[in-house]
Amino acid sequence: MTSVLQARAVWKTYQREDAPDVEALRGVDLEVAAGEFVAVTGPSGCGKSTLLTVLSGLDMPTSGSVVIAGRDVTSSSEQELAELRNKEIGFVFQSFHLVSSMTALENVAFPAELAGEQEAISRAERLLDQVGLSDRAHSFPHQLSGGEKQRVALCRALINQAKLIFADEPTGNLDSHNGDQVLELLIALQKEQGSSLVLVSHSSDVVARADRVVRMKDGKVVAD
């Protein structure tokens, strides 16, 4: 099986003013295979979110290397990273992070349009249809419920057929009904596209459905 993500000896230290530095990641090694669903769990503050931002190139590790789809993140330029995020990576966050001045449809279509995709809009419409939101396509984020927002965020993460999807507690802000629904959709779409999924969650239900579970504690992977 080919791997889409390799992280080696990743350290991340946050420097703070007037306070001791925080070592959020302390030598993490992780590999994710194509099409694999990896769940990351661990107590609050153990470094899960930090791991995700570093793995996805949103933030640089203090040391160590991260290679995504054959490209070394630490030695890539901003430009290359932007392209990588656009084409190869999708994100879903606990608090949605939709652009408030754009409609649902525009939010979803944006990454595709950025990539120069001609059919961005029709693709976005199809995706929204798939998650049951075709009637809310022209609503703005503040007009949507949490569950709806997260479904829009799912579509946005998937529109460029990313090889790798990072989801940081995507159901954390939702009630169990909506949470389940989002999770079902996420997994279904991930399987359909053959993407890999790295998902942070506290929920044992979620963890149970993963291909693999990574447990963290104090910035280290304690069980894989």
Partner 1 sequence: MTGRHPQFLWREARAGVSQLALFAVCVFLASLSIAAVSGWRHSVDLALAEETKKGAGGDVVAFSTEPFSNELLEAAEKYPHILSSEMFTVALSPKSDLTLFSKLKGVEVGYPYYGEVPLESGRNIHQALKEGLVVEQRVLERLEIEVGDSVKIGSRLFKIADMALSEPDRPLGMWGVSPRIFVAFDDLESTGLIRPGSYLERRIHIKLDDPSQAGLVAEELRQVAVPDQERVETWQRPPVNMERYVENFFTFLDMMVILAVALGGLGMQSTLSAWLRSRQKTVAVVRTFGATSRFVISHYSVIVFLAALAGYLAGLLAAGVLLAASGDYLSQMLPVVVAPSLSLYAALESAFLCLLVSLAFAAWPLYQTSLIRPAAVLRDEESVASRAARWKFGAFLVSALFLLLLFMVGDLKKSAFISVALLLVGAFSGVVSGLVVKFLKRSRPRHLALRTALGSWRAPEAKTEIVVFIISTCLAVLYTAVLCQEAVKQNWIDAMPPESPNLFFLDIQPHQEKAFREKLGLDVKLFSNMRVRVLKVNGEDLDRSGKREYWQRDGRGKLDANPTLELPDNDTLVEGDTLYKGEAPDQVSIRRDMAKALEVGIGDRLTFGVQGVPVEATVSSVRRSNRKGFKPSFELLFPPALVEGAPRTIFGSVRLPSEEIGATQTRITKEFPNVVSMDISLTIRLIGERLMQMVGLVRYFLGSGLVAGVLILISAAWSARRRRARESAYYKVMGADLGFLNRVIWLENAILGLTCSVLGLGMALVVSGLVCKYRLDIPFPEMGVSLLWMLVLPAVGVTILGWAVGRKVVSSRPAPYLREG
Ligand X SMILES: Nc1ncnc2c1ncn2[C@@H]1O[C@H](COP(=O)(O)OP(=O)(O)OP(=O)(O)O)[C@@H](O)[C@H]1O
Asked if residue 69 lies in contact with residue 19, where contact means CB atoms within 8 angstroms, the answer is: no
**List 99, 188, 222, 223, residue binding partner 1 (CB under 8 A):** 99
44 binds ligand X (CB under 6 A): yes
Instruction: Give the one entry of ligand X, partner 1, Mg ion, none that residue 14 binds, where binding means its C-beta sits below a cut-off of 5 to 8 angstroms depending on kind.
Output: ligand X
**List 3, 53, 178, 193, residue binding partner 1 (CB under 8 A):** 53
47 binds ligand X (CB under 6 A): yes
Q: How far is the CB of 165 from ligand X (least distance, A)?
A: 17
In degrees and rounded to multiples of 5, residue 37 shows phi and psi of: -110, 110
Asked if residue 13 lies in contact with residue 189, where contact means CB atoms within 8 angstroms, the answer is: no
Instruction: Give the one entry of Mg ion, ligand X, partner 1, none that residue 45 binds, where binding means its C-beta sits below a cut-off of 5 to 8 angstroms depending on kind.
Output: ligand X
**List 49, 62, 63, 161, residue binding ligand X (CB under 6 A):** 49
Of 59, 164, 151, 138, give the one whose Cα is nearest residue 96.
151
148 binds partner 1 (CB under 8 A): no
- Please work out, in degrees rounded to the nearest 5, the angle formed at the alpha carbon of residue 15 by the alpha carbons of 60 and 12: 35
Query: Distance between CA atoms of 182 and 194, rounded to whole angstroms?
Result: 18
Tell me which residues in 160-199 interact with partner 1 (CB under 8 A). Answer: 160, 173
Nearest residue (CB) to partner 1, 49 versus 209: 49
The DSSP annotation for 109-137 comes to HHHHHHTT-TTHHHHHHHHHHHTT-GGGT
One-letter amino acid for residue 67 of the chain:
V
Instruction: Give the one entry of ligand X, partner 1, Mg ion, none that residue 160 binds, where binding means its C-beta sits below a cut-off of 5 to 8 angstroms depending on kind.
Output: partner 1
Binding site residues, ligand X, CB under 6 A:
14, 16, 22, 24, 44-50
